[in-house]
Amino acid sequence: MDTTGSCLDAGVAPVPRAGDAEAQPDASAGVRAGGGGSTVTASSTTPAGPARATAAAEGSDGSRSPSADSVAPVGPPVQLLFGMDKGGRTSTVKVYLGIANQRRPASVGNSVVIGVFPCRTDDYAALRRICAMWLADIEDLRSRGLLVGGVLRSVLLILTGDYAWMTAFCGHSGASSRHPCLLCSAVGPRWEGDEQLVAFYGCLQHGSQCRGEPRTVVQAAEVCRALGSCSENASLARPMTHDQHRSIRRRPLMLVPASDIATMPLRTTLGITTDLLHLAAQIIQASCGPVRAAKFREELGGLLLERAGVTPAPYFWGTFEGSECHRIGRKLTLVCSLLEKYAPPRWAAPYRRACGDWQALPPTLNRSVAISAYDADEFERRAASFLDGLRASFDWVTVTPKMHVLVCHSAAFLRRFGSLGRYSEQALEALHGRFNQEAALHTAGTFLGSCGEFVKASAMSRAPGGDLYNN
């Protein structure tokens, strides 16, 4: 794996595009990198599909840069992380690029802000309008590559971010759909009772024994062809069946192989740590009743505050930040001991085993250094033991897409790339904090203008000698 310094130190410069048609005006506006902080508008009818851009490339010095057709890329590919996320005190969607094969890939300083877009939602319609501005540029990087120190390198684009935006970006119907996994065709827990369907597709509720067929780019392209000029299945005169679209019911904004979709290590850590605390409360509710459950929750809150030093963060909707989840993980034995004061052994013992299995997983999930083959095997074993143990002991536990990805897909990604944490959503999440912290530095007459100043400062700080973001 190429572990050069920051993308600036490595001399990475994207091959820019020339001759792009201007986006047409629309009510949705935002600011993108390279726009000098000015408002950029886009049309909801501007094509933002999976077709690759074919415009000529120009070097940063004005000379013609080598095209993918004339010069074969050399060396390992540049692993380009691409993601979007909605957040901040004033709701905005941040569009982000990072390079995974460098030191400290999850640092905000080693990422590039493509644009900041004020919006209330990050659903498919909003993403489609946002992507109309720059999606062809990203496709150009995939097809033409990057110049690294004067040498053309191929680009491997890896999708990262939270599950909601990745499913929307890929045209998928989301975690509650019939085929909720973005990486395979397994059906969701609600369809566990349909034996014929489960036998054909597999089911998330089967834990590590789920045998979902991996999704392919060919299947997504077939959905695109079936949609024709429509953007979603519901608009067709004869809509596709579930077996045809497998929950890809809208036109994917980009065709990304399932193997190139990151496995959400940060969101998985946040989600499962919180799920384990909720499970403890559910166990007491089921075994001791609501009065004892309320007392347990009160003691649990005091325990987490006093012994782990954590409180729920309001901007995470009452859950915990990543660093706090790691501290909770290290103190789970205390949670188990508290549970044992209330719950019978038949539930307290398997809960302790599950917590022990989970404690072994976050260090591998969130570590950006290369993981050994032995540790990858151990990670796969402990993940399977964690989920299968939960399902065997607590029959009300529902396997979520994040749990399923952890157990059935993360190990394959880990063996392919050598790390999971290197492809984390951490830098993307940290952009919200950086944007909030620096709001006073980027003032303008309007909020959109402030977004433009932030993007401009981000771009300028990436210039040689810029230290603001190269932390």
The pLDDT, as a whole number, for residue 355 is: 95
Q: What tens digit of pLDDT does each residue of 77-117 get?
A: 989 888 887 776 667 777 888 888 877 777 766 777 777 77
Q: What CA–CA distance (Å, rounded) separates 61 from 90?
A: 38
Q: Residue 35 has which token pair?
A: 């726009």
Q: What angle do CA 369, 169, 317 make, to 5 degrees?
A: 70
Q: Which of 14-23, 138-147, 308-317, 382-391 has the lowest mean pLDDT?
A: 14-23
Q: CB–CB of 118/124 below 8 Å?
A: no
DSSP 113: E
* Strand runs labelled E in 125-277: 146-148, 151-153, 155-159
Q: What tens digit of pLDDT does each residue of 27-41 get?
A: 344 544 443 333 323
Q: Residue 432 has which token pair?
A: 């919200």
Q: What tens digit of pLDDT does each residue of 300-322 get?
A: 888 888 877 776 654 444 566 66
Burial of 270 (0-12, 13-18, 19+ CB in 10 A): buried
Cα–Cα distances (Å) from 329 to 224, 275, 308, 400, 420, in that order, read: 43, 12, 9, 20, 18
DSSP 158: E
**The one-letter amino acid at 21:** A
Which residues contact residue 225 at a Cβ distance below 8 angstroms, ignoring those fewer than 6 apart?
none
Q: What CA–CA distance (Å, rounded) separates 188 from 221?
A: 23
CA nearest to 263, candidates 111, 380, 123: 380
